[in-house]
Amino acid sequence: MSKMFAKIDGERFRQLTRYVDSEVRKVSAEVDSGLNGYTLEALVGRVLPPDDSAYQFSKPGLGLSHDLDETMNELFERFVQKYNTSAEPLRRNDDDIWKDVYREPLERRHVAAKLIPKKITTPDFSYRFDHSWKNKLWHVYEPVSLDLVDTQSLADKANRSVGRATSLIDSAEPWKIHVLLGEPREPRMRAAYIKAQNILHKMPGEHEFVKETEAESFAEMVASEMKHHEG
């Protein structure tokens, strides 16, 4: 939680989650004993009344899944595990790099909407890339922010990217990763950035690195390849 909300009061949050857990168990026991006639909104409203506080249940929804366990794992990866990394002070995160640098040139060429999520899977590991398309192989585009505030964080993040690619090398599907780099804004981080790039170049399999200054030419290349493929 502290990765998502830097100023969160940990002790207060733990007290609240213990309270929510206790109240949900009470409501659950009443339902099991025959309580009926209540909507889901009404039941959770007894635990956290809908008001202007920061802690609220989301509105109920529904969806379809062929494998509930697999869907739960994917949602956990997307909304929880994604933030479960070592402490890493950021200037810009990966989403910032995508939104602020690479997405706009792709949108101007009308190809950003054609990029879809793709999960690369091996017997021991799987990872979901948010932006991809398939030609003869899957092209996956992964924004990687190296705009961090300390040198060790750059090396650690580069090593994680290499480790992830190594774990996916045995995938039965052919794929190529295009790493969309976000460069440090502080000149003092330049040497660490070069070292991080050297680590990234140890990545196995087909890969390509794109720098921020190459965002326009990268978008033009993607648009050209898609047009050729569709033609």
Would you kindly state where each structural domain of the chain is located, as residue ranges? Answer: 1-62, 94-230
Distances (CA, A) of 194 to 96, 127, 191: 21, 26, 5
State both tokens at 127: 């990872």
What's the predicted TM-score (pTM) here?
A: 0.62
The residue written with tokens 């502290």 in the block is 2
The Cβ of residue 134 has, within 10 Å, a number of other Cβ atoms equal to 14
Between β-strands 126-134 and 116-121, what pairing exists: parallel, antiparallel or unpaired? antiparallel
Q: What is the pLDDT along the chain (231 residues), one digit of tens a residue?
A: 666 666 777 778 888 888 899 988 888 888 877 766 678 888 888 888 888 887 888 888 888 888 888 888 778 777 776 666 554 445 789 999 999 999 999 999 999 999 999 999 999 999 999 999 999 899 999 999 999 877 888 999 999 999 999 999 999 999 999 999 999 988 888 999 999 999 999 999 999 999 999 999 999 999 999 998 876
Burial class (CB in 10 A: 0-12, 13-18, 19+), 24: middle
Can you tell me the distance from the alpha carbon of 16 to that of 74, in angstroms, rounded to the nearest whole number?
A: 26
Question: Cα 217 to the chain's mean position, in Å?
Answer: 25
178 close to 215: Cβ distance less than 8 angstroms: no
Can you tell me the distance from the alpha carbon of 5 to that of 54, in angstroms, rounded to the nearest whole number?
A: 12
CA atoms within 13 A on the CB side of 76: 6
Q: What is the 3-state secondary structure (H, E, C) of 71-114?
A: HHHHHHHHHCHHHCCCCCCECCCHHHHHHHHHHHHHHHCCCHHH
In 3D, which of 87, 90, 86, 61 has the Cα closest to residue 75?
A: 61
Q: What is the CATH number of domain 94-230?
A: 3.40.1350
Can you tell me the distance from the alpha carbon of 126 to that of 177, in angstroms, rounded to the nearest whole number?
A: 14
The Cβ of residue 137 has, within 10 Å, a number of other Cβ atoms equal to 11
110 close to 161: Cβ distance less than 8 angstroms: no
Can you tell me the distance from the alpha carbon of 126 to that of 122, in angstroms, rounded to the nearest whole number?
A: 6
